[in-house]
Chain A
Amino acid sequence: AAGVIQSPRHLIKEKRETATLKCYPIPRHDTVYWYQQGPGQDPQFLISFYEKMQSDKGSIPDRFSAQQFSDYHSELNMSSLELGDSALYFCASSLVPSANTGELFFGEGSRLTVL
């Protein structure tokens, strides 16, 4: 079965550069979530989109922005990169019907290293 696809899997950037991560959700899933996991930390919720509209916002820095496109894929744009942005970025998707068990399906993550 198709899973959540993230690209690139690895990315190395210099400080103050810009990075873009892409996420392709499971077909027919209407909601996309972005999480950031620093070394030894739990995944932190950044932002989510439902039907191409932002549905929730977590601890996402102002330097970051994201959107969901008409084909439901999502992109996370990160500007003025800092060393502390080095982390594993996970995208997840789900279908949000009226009855929901809360399960999110995660991609394999994009590892960003800022030098």
Chain B
Amino acid sequence: DQQVKQNSPSLSVQEGRISILNCDYTNSMFDYFLWYKKYPAEGPTFLISISSIKDKNEDGRFTVFLNKSAKHLSLHIVPSQPGDSAVYFCAANRYGGATNKLIFGTGTLLAVQP
């Protein structure tokens, strides 16, 4: 049962335009939602997160929006740069004391064309 879903396996965007990556989840008990970026042969690196009590979090070119009623979040990258080309994983966390595991989506490969 995939609790975190990214329905778009890939996305291609022109440099300078906006990239919008989407993520849906099924478990309403998640506390935090995170976006990780992954280059080939490297581990995932943290990009931005949002608490379940908020609907927006912004960090430079990256903004994450959360719609709890729709169980949907999205990552906006503007303006997109060629260096943003990577696989983006959406992840969710339900904080439970000594455990903090993340549940990942299947990833979206973003290609930013120069």
In the complex, the answer to whether A42 meets B101 with C-beta atoms within 8 Å is no
Decide: A31 near B41, CB < 8 A? Known: A42-B106, A45-B103.
Answer: no
B1-38: which have CB < 8 Å to A?
4, 31-32, 34, 36
Q: Evaluate contact between A4 and B49: CB separation under 8 angstroms.
A: no
> Given the interface contacts A56-B99, A90-B44, does A102 sit within 8 Å of B89 by beta carbon?
no
Q: Which of A14-22, A65-73, A77-85, A105-113 contacts B (4 or more CB under 8 A)?
A: A105-113
List residues of A (43-59) whose CB comes within 8 Å of B's CBs: 43-45, 48, 50-51, 55-56, 58
Query: Are B100 and A4 touching (Cβ within 8 A)?
Result: no
How many A residues have CB within 8 A of the partner chain? Answer: 28
User: A102, B41: Cβ atoms under 8 Å?
Assistant: no
Contacting residues, chain A, for B70 (C-beta < 8 A): none
Knowing A42-B106, A58-B101, say if A102 contacts B44 (CB, 8 Å).
no
Q: Does A104 contact B (CB under 8 A)?
A: yes
Query: Nearest chain B CB to A30's CB is how many angstroms away?
Result: 9
Question: Of all chain B residues, which has the CB nearest A3?
Answer: B43
List of A residues within 8 angstroms of B101 by Cβ: 33, 45, 48, 56, 58
Question: B100–A96 contact, CB under 8 A?
Answer: yes
A107-B43 in contact (CB<8A): yes
- Bound Cα distance A89, B107 (Å): 17
Once the chains bind, are A102 and B34 in contact (CB under 8 Å)? yes
Cα-based distance from A107 to B42 in the complex (angstroms):
8
Residues of A within 8 A of B91 (CB): 102
The 3 A-B residue pairs with the shortest CB-CB distance in the complex, in nearest-first order: A102-B93, A106-B43, A102-B32
7 contacts between A and B (CB under 8 A): A33-B100, A33-B102, A48-B100, A50-B99, A100-B95, A100-B100, A106-B43
Interface residues of A (CB under 8 A from B): 4, 31, 33, 41-45, 48, 50-51, 55-56, 58, 90, 92, 94, 96, 100-109
Given A48-B100, A100-B95, A100-B100, 5 extra CB contacts under 8 A: A42-B89, A42-B106, A45-B101, A103-B34, A109-B43
